[in-house]
Structure 1
Amino acid sequence: MMTEAPELPLHMRRNGLSPVEELARARDSEGVVQVKTPFGVPAYVVCRYEDVRQVLADPARFSSALTPFPGAEQLDADELATMQAGQLIGFDPPEHTRLRRMLTPEFTVRRMRRLEPRITEIVRTALDDLERAGKPADLVEHFALPVPSLVICELLGVPQADRAEFHERSVRLLDTSLPLEQRVAAQREDRAYMAGLVARAQAEPGEDMLGMLVREHGHDLSTDELIGIAGLLLLAGHETTSNMLGLGTLALLRHPEQAAMIRDDPALVEPAVEELLRWLSVVQVLPPRTTTTDVEVGGHAIPAGSLVFCSFPAANRDPAFVDDPETLDITRGAAGHVAFGHGVHHCLGAPLARMEMRIAFPALLRRFPGLALADPAEPVDFRVFSLVYGVRTLRVTW
């Protein structure tokens, strides 16, 4: 029996690579709009750049810990506590601070630079695979998906043979069109898999990040927290960069003069990555915050106990943030964008994601200087209902 997909909420609506006009109008007029979530609960969507930063920088008034866990009503109290353990994005300081402090040293720019030779090798191998596939080929299957997947799996000690199963499960976890029962089932499957990884790391800690956490913080972190941390890092490190590589390549192929600039001028690679992050905003929203008191955002009163979503695509294209925000301009760099969030929950893996993109985009464009869409008239299959926006496939030629 077919089930009808839920209506897409305003903060997840796109027109190809851009937010829908309705969202842009909401940002440029009201700034904060009230919507109804797919579960029938009212919520507020914050659209302006400065207002989004205000919300994300204030965990005392906009709490992550008080926000209902999706599918919580299907879990008893013990399982709910187990599922939430270690999930940094679901905690406020000081608990969030305690967990993040243990992970931060592993994600410094200096530590990430040690991975650069291996990431370069992974990118080169993926490009070889893309070339062997023959044209036309699916860039997502042969490049955008395997590069970050292999990087984060190696970082966390995930066997390569498990990558396909993990990807299928992560797609279900992020697909808001699926019935909640299926997404909760995927959460349980994911937790069971991560429990096995953690058990192996506890029995014989390796040199990967899980091994490090067991050796250095095994007395400070419970097994449930280790499982939650591993699951969050694996999902976040895989899905975000994968979709940036796919969607970013599509954007560059539609702006060939800018793709050529990235290919030919190494000095433009870093600002190009920042501009692509701003312009695409693949993470549509973070989990909503819950107001702990009556608040005012952008001149709008929001009552205590309200759900608040921050729209990253709208905020990153706010004319108050950058001039001519609808134009992709890789020369500007767009420092200060909120593609990685802001405040205490700013993406822990941002240095790793940036490094992967700085290596992958120019390598792709140099290997295939004639890279183009296989059929420019073919409709693009966007991941419309995914919390992390992207393309399912991208057929290219060269």
Structure 2
Amino acid sequence: MTKTSGDVRAVDGVVPTVADVDRIAALADPVVRNLMITHCYHELSRAVAQRTGGSANWCSFAVWASKQVGQTIRQEDPARQVERVLASSPETAAAVDLLTRSLRRAVPRAALDRVEQVTRQAVVATARLDAAAEASARGNLKVFEEIAREFARFLVEVVDGGGPVAEFCAALSPGEPPEGQRYLRQAFTHYHQASSATDPKQRAELLLLANVEIGLHEQTRLQPEITAALEAPLVDPRELERRLLDLLLPGNRVVKWLRRVLLTVLGRRAPVRAASEQLAVHVRALARRVITEHLMTLALPGGELLDLSEDLVAEFPPLLARLSHPDLLALLPTVDPTPDSVLGTAARDWSDLPDRMHYIADMFRCHAYRSDLLSAPFTPEQVAELTCGRRPTGRL
């Protein structure tokens, strides 16, 4: 049954309710909220799979996508990657050399020896990775509070409650996404049909159709947040210069001010600013590349990494090798320009909706019968921490 701890109602081996989804969506801490979202998707995934034949549904993929997004929200991998890229960048080395020469005679020798290290610290602090994290958190919440809520309502009202699916769908908005919910109406109708289908191939195609329909709705809705995350790493040269000098110049506020005056008197301030501006332009490009690469990587169970910028290396399962459902055959050409093939699935620009959907549609098809997609994203100990509204320890 659902149990409550503080203001967080945790899902533990039961079907999440609409109230569970609403409570998780209301959490203020974006890190804990993301972890709860990921766990809730897992519970929904298992519940839907049990009622539709055991193969992967949209929630099954959402578990691992949400877990991946959590790294961006926590600013873990992006910050480490920015530091690694900076350390191997010739442009960074040139800027550091210019800074070192500009600061000579104005800062102690010990500070000069730390210019490279301090530069990386200042860059990570000013690269607006927090803005990318905020955009990712908004997108994570936006999709969850709409789609997970409807999955919870669908399970309770239709699949388990026996209510008419037409009545359920009537509560969804007509029209096209991002505001209209036409694809959600269609998807839940097809999930309902799959739950009672006796022919395995028919059920497989209905589930694929429903997954793609929800994926198309979801990705259309996420377009502003994806664009914002990619555009986030703006670096202000003056802020970068200020942080650099604060880190490099020893002493209290007055001493730091005097050393800045000395830089100006010695004619060194202009070269420092020039180096900061040069570095800011370089870092913006690097940070965007890092964020893009991070958004275009999906970690699946067992440590497998999908690089979304490369063609899928997988085959369609036998039941989905050749498709026959008329609605599926009508929808796929709008999202998959290479029918019955994974060639060309690589997404070149993750901010481009058709590019994303081509990869996603074929990913749903190729991995429809991966049983490990239904596995738990967190350990029982981590789930226990989550039920108390705390951020778990260990690898997340």
- TM class by shorter chain equals under 0.3
Q: Which of 1 and 2 has higher RCO (CA within 8 Å, sep 6+)? A: 1
Report the TM-score when normalising by structure 2: 0.24
Task: Give the number of the structure whose residues are more often strand, by fraction.
Answer: 1
Q: Which has the larger radius of gyration?
A: 2
Structure holding more helix per residue: 2
TM-score by length of 1: 0.23
